[in-house]
Amino acid sequence: MRQAGPSVMAALQVVSCLLFPAVARWLCARVKPLGALGPVVVCYAAGILAANLRLVPVDEKAAMTLNEASVALSIPLLLFSTEVKKWLSLGPTLLKAFGLACLSAIAAASIAGFVFKASTDEWWKISGMLVGVYIGGTPNLNAIGLALETRSETFVLLNAADVVLGGAWLFVLLTFAQRVLLRFMKAFPAARAEATVDEAKTTTVWTPKHLPSMVTGLALAIACVLVSAGAAMGTTGKLDGTVVMLVLTTLGIALSLVERVRRLPTTFELGEYLLLVFCVAVGSLADVSKLSGASSLFFFVFLVLALAVVFHVVLCWLFGIDADSTLVSSTAAVFGPAFIPPVTAALKNKALLGPGLTLGLAGFAIGTYVGLFTAWALRSLGG
């Protein structure tokens, strides 16, 4: 019996990557152990298993193409729902806490970069990517990596390390972090804690009636990608990743200022789904045999996250910021808006749910800029 050709296998691989996130979400909603891991971990694991068990051939070119496309499309989709005008209405305490989280991420990544400078020639790129992920999120890490033309092996390990180490910090946030911080930080003001939030507005369940808005949002995202690619070709004569990602982020923010675009339902959820597609695709590149000897990158990520958290807590304590605002701003910076609801629920503080979601979206908006500028600055300083 004749085997399917490479093009057929690549097409099947792409279809599998596009469909598996739906399966992962379905499983996580019904199987408790998988629900504890979450769709992101399940999608990474599926891709990694496909790469290393070799039950089916993996087309690396198809995986990288899907990786780049999913990241590019997810960025504007995630930004469309950003309410830029509300960033400054969050209150000075929460804005200050988030600003300190950003400064802590930059300082931590810079220190770790020079510590591990001798271990990899991509140290400055990695520092920039980690600034992006610990101010914004995975989309920013991937956007910066693509812009700086980071090696695929580095992509895979950084994403894997972020999942493992970020999961450990999330466990702390959801369990005993508040109790520890309240030993030396002030409590959240009782008057503000009485505020209520309509939690139903923070999530959207996909139904057939959302199809037109999903198509509209996806069409706008594709238009943003095409304009960004055209801008790169027009200014550099090639698809320069830096230009593409900077223009793409700027277009996403600009369109969020258009109320009809910002009010489109499901755009954020569609962007998150594309990130799950990315997780499967990038996981399929994780051939363990190619990552031998790269354990230093894992410790690179550990040092950045540990220093960023410690610096942030210490600075918030010095500036007199309360424990809950510190933890919610850390969640917004390290994880993005998706994890704000469970953290505010664990803190029993609904007053910070809405502002925390807005901070997380703001992090998505600025993470790529700050990460790229940090990387370029470190490259200049490092020689």
At residue 7 the predicted structure's pLDDT band, cuts being 50, 70 and 90, is: confident
Neighbour tally for 305: CB within 10 Å: 24
pLDDT surpassing 80 at residue 51: no
First to last CA, the chain: 58
The mean pLDDT value for 69-91 works out to 77
Of 90, 160, 108, 50, the residue nearest 362 (C-alpha)? 90
The mean pLDDT value for 62-67 works out to 81
Phi/psi region, residue 321 (left: phi>0; alpha: psi -120 to 50; beta: rest), is: beta
pLDDT surpassing 70 at residue 188: yes
Residues 227 and 134: their CA atoms lie apart, in Å, by: 28
Q: What is the pLDDT of residue 131?
A: 96
How many domains is the chain partitioned into structurally?
A: 1
99-113, 162-176, 192-206, 265-279: segment of lowest average pLDDT: 192-206
Contacts of 159 (CB under 8 A, 6+ apart): 44, 138, 141, 142, 279, 282
The mean pLDDT value for 134-162 works out to 85
Q: Is 56 domain-assigned?
A: no
Q: How far apart, in Å, are the Cα atoms of 213 and each of 150, 317, 354?
A: 34, 44, 23
What percent of the chain shows pLDDT beyond 70?
87
The DSSP call for residue 291 is S
Q: What is the pLDDT of residue 9?
A: 75
The mean pLDDT value for 45-55 works out to 78
Q: Where are the alpha helices (DSSP H) in 116-189?
A: 123-133, 138-147, 152-175, 177-181
pTM exceeds 0.75 for this model? no
Residues 75 and 254: their CA atoms lie apart, in Å, by: 13
What percent of the chain shows pLDDT beyond 90?
31
Residues 206 and 273: their CA atoms lie apart, in Å, by: 12
Q: Is 6 domain-assigned?
A: no
Of 335, 214, 273, 271, the residue nearest 25 (C-alpha)? 273
Q: What is the pLDDT of residue 308?
A: 96
* Domain housing 344: 64-382
The mean pLDDT value for 36-48 works out to 79
pLDDT surpassing 80 at residue 325: yes
pLDDT surpassing 70 at residue 193: no
pLDDT, the chain, mean: 83
121-125, 144-148, 241-245: segment of lowest average pLDDT: 241-245
pLDDT surpassing 80 at residue 354: no
Q: Is 363 domain-assigned?
A: yes
The residue with greater pLDDT, 227 or 120, is 227
Q: Are 351 and 195 a contacting pair, CB within 8 Å?
A: yes
pLDDT surpassing 50 at residue 17: yes
The residue with greater pLDDT, 357 or 123, is 123
User: 287 phi and psi, to 5 degrees?
Assistant: -75, 110
Q: Is 16 domain-assigned?
A: no
pLDDT surpassing 80 at residue 58: no
- The per-residue b/e assignment along 161-174, b for 16 or more CB within 10 angstroms, e otherwise, is bbbebbeebbeebb
Q: Is 2 domain-assigned?
A: no
AA letter at 301: V
Residue bearing tokens 């290393």 = 52
Q: Are 97 and 268 a contacting pair, CB within 8 Å?
A: no
Q: Is 204 domain-assigned?
A: yes
What is the chain's Cα-based Rg? 20
Q: What is the pLDDT of residue 341?
A: 67
Contacts of 166 (CB under 8 A, 6+ apart): 305, 334, 335
User: 50 phi and psi, to 5 degrees?
Assistant: -60, -35
At residue 199 the predicted structure's pLDDT band, cuts being 50, 70 and 90, is: very low
pLDDT surpassing 60 at residue 181: yes
64-78, 93-107, 171-185, 193-207: segment of lowest average pLDDT: 193-207
Residues 104 and 55: their CA atoms lie apart, in Å, by: 43
Residues 39 and 35: their CA atoms lie apart, in Å, by: 7
Residue bearing tokens 């960025």 = 75
pLDDT surpassing 60 at residue 241: yes
Neighbour tally for 129: CB within 10 Å: 34
Q: What is the pLDDT of residue 269?
A: 84
At residue 330 the predicted structure's pLDDT band, cuts being 50, 70 and 90, is: very high
Q: What is the pLDDT of residue 205?
A: 57
Q: Is 228 domain-assigned?
A: yes
Residues 242 and 295: their CA atoms lie apart, in Å, by: 28
Q: Is 42 domain-assigned?
A: no
Task: Give residue-wise pLDDT tens across range 208-231.
Answer: 777 888 899 999 999 999 999 999
SS3 assignment, position 276: helix
